[in-house]
Amino acid sequence: MTTKIRELLAKHGALPVSVETLADTTDLYEAGLSSFASVQLMLALEDAFDVEFPETLLNRKSFASIAAIRDALASLTEEAVA
C-alpha cells in the first residue's frame, strides 16, 4: 500500500522535492503539498484503491503524511496494512 501511495504522491503531489527523500511521517504540507495537489492526490487514491473518502476524512489531517494517508485508506479497506 505504501509503495502505491508513494507512486501516486510522486505523480499527483506536484512536490518540489523527490518523494524518495520523504519519510513516511514527513509533513507533506511542509514538503510543499498544495491544497489543490492534495485534492488531486485524494481523487487518484480513490481511483487506485477503489474507495471513497467520507466527508469526515476530507481534511488536511488525512493527507498530512504518507503514514496518515495509509491510516485513512486502511480505515476504508478491509485489507490489512502491508
Partner 1 sequence: MQTSLLDRLFDAGLLIDTGVDGLYGRSGAFEDVIQRFEGLISAFGSSSPSEVIRFPPGMNRSHFEGSGYMKSFPQLAGTVHSFCGCELDHVNLLQCMAEGNDWTKDQKATDIVLTPAACYPLYPTIAKRGPLPAGGGLFDLQSYCFRHEPSKDPARMQLFRMREYVRMGTPEEVMAFRQQWMERGQELIAAVELPVEIDVANDPFFGRAGKMLANNQRDQALKFELLIPVTSTAKKTACLSFNYHQDHFGKTWGLTTADGAVAHTACVGFGLERIALALFAHHGLDTADWPSTVRKALWG
Residues in contact with partner 1 by the rule CB under 8 A? 35-36, 38-39, 42-43, 55, 58-61
Give the amino acid at 52: E
CB of 39 to partner 1, least distance (A): 4
C-beta closer to partner 1: residue 17 or 39:
39
CB of 33 to partner 1, least distance (A): 11
C-beta closer to partner 1: residue 38 or 65:
38
How far lies 81's CA from each of 19, 29, 30, in Å? 20, 23, 25
69, three cell numbers: 494517508
C-beta closer to partner 1: residue 3 or 35:
35
CB of 1 to partner 1, least distance (A): 21
Reported as type and span, the H/E element at residue 38 is: helix 35-49
C-alpha 72/C-alpha 53 separation (Å) is: 8
**Chain Cα centroid distance, residue 25:** 11
